[in-house]
Structure 1
Amino acid sequence: MENTSENKKNREVKKSQKHVCLGILAHVDAGKTTLSESFLFLSGKIRQAGRVDHKDAFLDTYELERERGITIFSKQAVFEWKGMEITLLDTPGHVDFSAEMERTLQVLDYAVLVISGSDGVQGHTMTLWKLLKRYNIPTFLFVNKMDQEGTERREIMAELERQFGENCIDFSYLDEMAMENLALCGEEMMESYLESGKIDKKLIQKAVKERNVFPCYFGSALYMDGVDELLNGIADFTESLKYPEEFGAKVYKIGRDSQGNRLTYLKVTGGELKVRDSIGNSEEKINEIRIYSGEKYTAVPAAAAGRVCTVTGLSDTYPGEGIGAEPESDLPVLEPVLTYRIDLPDACDIHKMLENLRSLEEEEPALHIVWEEAVGEIHAQLMGEVQTEVLRHIIRERFGVWVEFVEGNIVYKETIKFPVEGVGHFEPLRHYAEVHLLLEPGERGSGLQFASVCSGDVLDRNWQRLILTHLEEKEHKGVLAGAGITDIKITLLAGRAHQKHTEGGDFRQATYRAVRQGLKKAESILLEPYYEFKMELPAEMVGRAMTDIQKMKGDFVPPLTLGESVILTGSAPVSQMRGYQREFISYTKGKGRLFCEPKGYRACQNQEEVIEGIGYDAEADTENPTGSVFCSHGAGFVVPWYQVEEYAHIGSCYTAKKEESEAQRRTFCPPPVSRIELTQEELDAIYVKTPDPIKRNYTATPVTVRAQEKQEGEGRKKSRKKEKNREEYLLVDGYNIIFAWKDLKELSEISMEAARNKLMDILCNYQAYRKCTLILVFDAYKVEGNKGETIKYHNIHVVYTKEAETADQYIEKTVRRMGRHQDVTVATSDALEQVIILGQGAQRMSAEGLKEEIRLAEKEIREEYLGKNTVERNYLFYALKEDAAEAVEKIRLGGSEESSNVK
Structure 2
Amino acid sequence: MTVLNLGIVAHVDAGKTSLTERLLFRAGVIDRIGSVDDGSTQTDSLALERQRGITIKSAVASFVVGGVTVNLIDTPGHPDFIAEVERALRVLDGAVLVVSAVEGVQAQTRVLMRTLRRLRVPTLIFVNKIDRRGARHEDLLADLAAKLTPALAPMGRPTGLGTPAAGFEPDTGRLAEALAEHDDDVMAAFVFDAPGVPLGAALARQTAGGLIHPVYFGSAVTGAGVDALVEGLATVLPAAGGDPDGPVSATVFKVERGPSGEKMAYVRMFSGTLRVRDRLAAGKVTAISVPDGGTAAPAGEVVAGQIGKLWGLRTVRIGDSIGEPRPGAEQLFAPPTLETVVVPRDPRDRPRLHAALVQLAEQDPLIDLRQDHELSVSLYGEVQKEVIEATLATEHGVLADFRESTTIYVERVTGTGEATEILGAPDNPFVATIGLRIEPAPPGSGVAFHLDVPVEAMPMYVYSSASLFHAAMHDYVRSTLRQGLHGWDVTDCLVTMTQSGYSAPVSTAGDYRKLTPLVLMRALHRAGTQVCEPVHRFHLEVPADTSGAALGLLSKLGAAPDTQHPHGDWHDVSGTIPATRIHDLSRRLPGISHGEGVLEYAFDHYRPVRGIPPTRPRTDHNPLDRKEYLLWVERRVAL
What is the CA–CA distance in structure 2 between the aligned matches of 1:262 and 1:628, rounded to whole Å? 37
What is the CA–CA distance in structure 2 between the aligned matches of 1:601 and 1:524, rounded to whole Å? 14
SS at 1:205 equivalent: helix
**C-alpha contact 1:75 1:294 (8 A) present in aligned 2:** no
The CA RMSD measured in Å over matched residues stands at 3.2
Alpha-carbon distance, 1:295 to partner: 8.3
Please list the CA deviations of residues 21-65 of structure 1 after superposition, one character each: whole Å capped at 9, or x if unmatched.
111111111111111111111111111111112221111111111
**C-alpha contact 2:480 2:517 (8 A) present in aligned 1:** no
Report the CA distance shift for 1:278/1:158 in structure 2 as closer, same or farther (over 3 A).
Answer: same
SS at 2:233 equivalent: helix
**Is residue 594 of structure 1 aligned with residue 599 of structure 2?**
yes
Larger radius of gyration: 1
Report the CA distance shift for 1:456/1:136 in structure 2 as closer, same or farther (over 3 A).
Answer: closer
**C-alpha contact 2:114 2:148 (8 A) present in aligned 1:** no
Amino acid at match of 1:190: M
**Is residue 354 of structure 1 aligned with residue 297 of structure 2?**
no
Larger mean CA deviation between 440-449 and 30-39 belongs to: 440-449
Amino acid at match of 1:358: V
Alpha-carbon distance, 1:105 to partner: 0.6
What is the CA–CA distance in structure 1 between the aligned matches of 2:65 and 2:506, rounded to whole Å? 65
Amino acid at match of 2:598: R
What is the CA–CA distance in structure 1 between the aligned matches of 2:365 and 2:514, rounded to whole Å? 25
Larger mean CA deviation between 421-430 and 151-160 belongs to: 421-430
**Is residue 89 of structure 1 aligned with residue 73 of structure 2?**
yes
Report the CA distance shift for 1:558/1:90 in structure 2 as closer, same or farther (over 3 A).
Answer: same
Report the CA distance shift for 1:229/1:457 in structure 2 as closer, same or farther (over 3 A).
Answer: closer
Residue 129 of structure 1: aligned partner: 113
Residue 896 of structure 1: aligned partner: none
Residue 227 of structure 2: aligned partner: 228
Task: Structure 2: state its 5+ residue gaps.
Answer: 157-169, 464-468
Residue 612 of structure 2: aligned partner: 609
**Is residue 365 of structure 1 aligned with residue 308 of structure 2?**
no
Residue 375 of structure 2: aligned partner: 378
**C-alpha contact 2:389 2:400 (8 A) present in aligned 1:** yes
Larger mean CA deviation between 177-186 and 36-45 belongs to: 177-186
**Is residue 159 of structure 1 aligned with residue 143 of structure 2?**
yes
SS at 1:518 equivalent: helix
Alpha-carbon distance, 1:485 to partner: 1.4
Amino acid at match of 2:130: M
Amino acid at match of 1:203: A
Alpha-carbon distance, 1:67 to partner: 0.9
What is the CA–CA distance in structure 1 between the aligned matches of 2:49 and 2:312, rounded to whole Å? 28
Please list the CA deviations of residues 439-488 of structure 1 after superposition, one character each: whole Å capped at 9, or x if unmatched.
11111122222333245677756597776553244454222x32121122
Residue 265 of structure 1: aligned partner: 266
Q: What TM-score do you get using the length of structure 2 for normalisation?
A: 0.87
SS at 1:146 equivalent: coil
Residue 12 of structure 2: aligned partner: 28
Q: Residue 535 of structure 2: which of 520, 530, 546 is its match?
A: 530
Amino acid at match of 1:339: E
Correspondence list, 1:831-870, <5 A: none
Please list the CA deviations of residues 510-536 of structure 1 after superposition, one character each: whole Å capped at 9, or x if unmatched.
432222223333332111112122223
Alpha-carbon distance, 1:181 to partner: 3.9
Please list the CA deviations of residues 358-379 of structure 1 after superposition, one character each: whole Å capped at 9, or x if unmatched.
232121010111112xxx1011
Correspondence list, 1:188-337, <5 A: 188-193=185-190, 194-196=193-195, 199-244=198-243, 245-246=245-246, 247-279=248-280, 281=281, 284-292=283-291, 296-327=295-326, 329-337=329-337
What is the CA–CA distance in structure 2 between the aligned matches of 1:213 and 1:506, rounded to whole Å? 51
What is the CA–CA distance in structure 2 between the aligned matches of 1:580 and 1:39, rounded to whole Å? 40
Correspondence list, 1:440-479, <5 A: 440-455=439-454, 469-479=475-485
Correspondence list, 1:39-118, <5 A: 39-118=23-102
Alpha-carbon distance, 1:540 to partner: 5.6
Which structure has the highest helix share of the two?
Answer: 1
**C-alpha contact 1:76 1:293 (8 A) present in aligned 2:** no
**C-alpha contact 2:539 2:573 (8 A) present in aligned 1:** yes
Report the CA distance shift for 1:266/1:517 in structure 2 as closer, same or farther (over 3 A).
Answer: same
Report the CA distance shift for 1:422/1:353 in structure 2 as closer, same or farther (over 3 A).
Answer: farther
Residue 521 of structure 1: aligned partner: 526
Q: Residue 621 of structure 2: which of 620, 623, 626 is its match?
A: 623
Please list the CA deviations of residues 543-578 of structure 1 after superposition, one character each: whole Å capped at 9, or x if unmatched.
655565555555454335555544433332212323
Report the CA distance shift for 1:421/1:543 in structure 2 as closer, same or farther (over 3 A).
Answer: farther
Please list the CA deviations of residues 615-657 of structure 1 after superposition, one character each: whole Å capped at 9, or x if unmatched.
x699xx992142435xxxxxxxxxxxxxxxxxxxxxxxxxxxx
Q: What TM-score do you get using the length of structure 1 for normalisation?
A: 0.63
Residue 345 of structure 2: aligned partner: 345
**C-alpha contact 1:39 1:227 (8 A) present in aligned 2:** yes
**C-alpha contact 1:416 1:522 (8 A) present in aligned 2:** yes
What is the CA–CA distance in structure 2 between the aligned matches of 1:355 and 1:293, rounded to whole Å? 34
Residue 637 of structure 1: aligned partner: none
**C-alpha contact 1:23 1:108 (8 A) present in aligned 2:** yes
User: How many percent of aligned residue pairs carry the same amino acid?
Assistant: 28
Alpha-carbon distance, 1:235 to partner: 2.3
Amino acid at match of 1:576: R
Correspondence list, 1:361-510, <5 A: 361-372=361-372, 376-423=373-420, 435-455=434-454, 469-479=475-485, 481-494=486-499, 507-510=512-515
Amino acid at match of 2:476: H
Alpha-carbon distance, 1:135 to partner: 1.9
Please list the CA deviations of residues 791-819 of structure 1 after superposition, one character each: whole Å capped at 9, or x if unmatched.
xxxxxxxxxxxxxxxxxxxxxxxxxxxxx
Q: Which has the higher contact order (CA 8 A, sep 6+)?
A: 2
SS at 1:23 equivalent: strand
Please list the CA deviations of residues 333-384 of structure 1 after superposition, one character each: whole Å capped at 9, or x if unmatched.
1321001001113343535543442232121010111112xxx101110111
Please list the CA deviations of residues 712-764 of structure 1 after superposition, one character each: whole Å capped at 9, or x if unmatched.
xxxxxxxxxxxxxxxxxxxxxxxxxxxxxxxxxxxxxxxxxxxxxxxxxxxxx
**C-alpha contact 2:410 2:533 (8 A) present in aligned 1:** yes
Question: How many residues get paired?
Answer: 612
Report the CA distance shift for 1:552/1:522 in structure 2 as closer, same or farther (over 3 A).
Answer: farther
**C-alpha contact 1:192 1:200 (8 A) present in aligned 2:** no
Report the CA distance shift for 1:504/1:180 in structure 2 as closer, same or farther (over 3 A).
Answer: closer
Amino acid at match of 2:194: E
Amino acid at match of 2:342: I
Task: Structure 1: state its 5+ residue gaps.
Answer: 1-14, 630-682, 692-697, 709-903
Amino acid at match of 2:268: K
What is the CA–CA distance in structure 2 between the aligned matches of 1:524 and 1:232, rounded to whole Å? 53
Report the CA distance shift for 1:294/1:101 in structure 2 as closer, same or farther (over 3 A).
Answer: farther
Amino acid at match of 1:189: V
Which structure has the highest strand share of the two?
Answer: 2
Correspondence list, 1:548-697, <5 A: 549=554, 552-560=557-565, 562=567, 564-604=569-609, 606=610, 608-611=611-614, 614=615, 623-628=621-626, 687=630, 689-690=632-633
Report the CA distance shift for 1:468/1:49 in structure 2 as closer, same or farther (over 3 A).
Answer: closer
Residue 844 of structure 1: aligned partner: none
Correspondence list, 1:862-901, <5 A: none
SS at 1:222 equivalent: coil
Alpha-carbon distance, 1:217 to partner: 1.6
What is the CA–CA distance in structure 2 between the aligned matches of 1:456 and 1:240, rounded to whole Å? 38
What is the CA–CA distance in structure 2 between the aligned matches of 1:336 and 1:289, rounded to whole Å? 33
What is the CA–CA distance in structure 1 between the aligned matches of 2:599 and 2:10, rounded to whole Å? 18
**C-alpha contact 1:424 1:628 (8 A) present in aligned 2:** no
